[in-house]
Amino acid sequence: MPQEIERKFLINKDLWEKVKKPKGILIQQGYLSANPECTIRVRRTDDTSTLTIKGINKGAVRTEFEYEIPTEDVEQLLKLFTEKRISKTRYPIEFSGKCWEVDVFHDTNDGLVVAEIELLSEHEPFEKPLWVTEEVTDDIRYYNVNLLEHPYVKW
């Protein structure tokens, strides 16, 4: 069964501003199901559109199925079945042999910046860049699906 093993961290914004960044990837996403046991997300970037089904988190591990779908389908799914959306710009940053994905959120989550790293196993060792700070993997406030109902600007 496909799994996602991902850890999530806050960042030091002052240090992050000094990082040389690639061009960001604008992401728009909405949720067809926000049930924690079966989250169903549609996502669109300039290059790809996906449908993703995720199971409940068990620490940093959860079941994940992800499929590329036509952009027209994502547009229709977002329009017909979602009221709220997440907008963020993602910056993939290579560091010490790993890719860190740094998400800079927009709109009602403006000001939130989160770094994620995908691992091969839950206990895989990795090195953190200096700009990575507190781990928030187990803090449900930082789950994208929860940011729709409890946006960062209202914390």
Q: Helix (H) and strand (E) counts for the chain?
A: 3, 9
- What tokens does 90 get? 């993602």
Question: Which run of H or E residues covers position 25?
Answer: strand 25-35
Kindly name the residue from 31, 91, 142, 152 that is annotated as catalytic: 31
143 labelled catalytic:
no
Give the closest residue to 105 by CA, choosing from 95, 94, 116, 97: 116
| DSSP β-bridge partners for residue 117 | 7, 100
- Catalytically annotated residues: 31
